[in-house]
Amino acid sequence: MGEHSADVAPKGKAAPRRTSIGGRRNPASASAILEAAEAILSETGLAGFSIEAVARRAGAGKPTIYRWWPNRSALLMDVYARQKETVLRVDTGTLEGDLVELLTRLFAFWRDTPAGATFRSIIAEAQSDPASLAALQSFLADRRAYVGEVVARGIARGDLPPKADLPSLVELIFGFAWMRLLTGDIAAPDADHVPDALPARVRLLLRGAAATA
């Protein structure tokens, strides 16, 4: 297979030939492994993502990977955990503006960084691996809570009545975002010509939430 030699070549940083630093974990190895994993994921997708390929590209031994991550899924989750630290804080003054901005920036984040490919892979992985599914669920709860806060802020601002069906609103927002990601439908809006559908989705959701009070 052609990609084997290719995996090694683009390394770039000249393989600094790490070694043990004594009886404890070498952070350089850990980050080399995560970086290699991320690079492979964004370049070849989940298909090319194997422990073997990561080890090769990171210049690490396979057992070093298996010592710290029990399996492929765990490594995958760590790769995403490392990326998602980019938190998307928004405050446009209105709830509708906040949600549109949030989703727009989320789609941009998924589109323009390896995070999108990584997250798609995690969702895929979760379909066959229960541990990954659990991790995904807890991650999702975390993110829902954050969006919940954004919405709560909107309620405090009076953009939405206090008794609005917040859980439904939040769940539907995530459903929308995920489906767009999973069907590859997160292209940037073509500013002038095609009216972006995203604001329409948000508007429907907010009016529905307002009406459920």
Partner DNA sequence: ACGTAAACGAGACGGTACGTCCTGTCTTAGT
Partner DNA sequence: ACTAAGACAGGACGTACCGTCTCGTTTACGT
Task: Determine, following the binding rule CB under 8 A, whether residue 208 of this chain makes contact with a second copy.
Answer: yes
Site size toward a second copy (CB under 8 A) is 48
Closest separation in Å from C-beta 31 to a second copy: 25
* Amino acid residing at 132: S
* Burial class, 179, CB count within 10 angstroms (exposed 0-12 / middle 13-18 / buried 19+): exposed
Task: Determine, following the binding rule CB under 7 A, whether residue 45 of this chain makes contact with DNA.
Answer: no
CA distance to 64, 84, 92, 150, 193, per residue, from 100 (Å): 43, 19, 10, 12, 19
Of residues 111, 109, 114, 113, the one with CA closest to residue 87: 109
CB-nearer residue toward DNA: 48 or 208: 48
CA distance to 38, 46, 195, per residue, from 50 (Å): 12, 8, 41
C-alpha 102/C-alpha 108 separation (Å) is 10
State the binding partner of 19 from DNA, a second copy, none, CB within 5 to 8 A by kind: DNA
Kindly report the CA angle at 147 between 119 and 89, in degrees rounded to 5? 80
Per-residue 3-state assignment (H helix, E strand, C coil) for 127-165? CCCHHHHHHHHHHHHHHHHHHHHHHHHHHHHCCCCCCCC
Closest separation in Å from C-beta 81 to a second copy: 18
* Amino acid residing at 10: P
- Choice from 77, 136, 150, 151 touching a second copy (CB under 8 A): 136
Closest separation in Å from C-beta 141 to a second copy: 10
Q: Tokens 């439908």 label which residue?
A: 185
Task: Determine, following the binding rule CB under 8 A, whether residue 168 of this chain makes contact with a second copy.
Answer: yes
State the binding partner of 66 from DNA, a second copy, none, CB within 5 to 8 A by kind: DNA
Q: Which stretch binds DNA (CB under 7 A): 58-66, 99-107, 135-143, 205-213?
A: 58-66
CB-nearer residue toward DNA: 58 or 186: 58
- Of residues 41-70, which lie at the interface with a second copy (CB under 8 A)? 45-47
Interface residues toward a second copy, by CB under 8 A: 3-4, 6, 45-47, 120-121, 123-129, 133, 136-137, 140, 165, 167-169, 171-172, 174-180, 182-184, 197, 200-201, 203-212
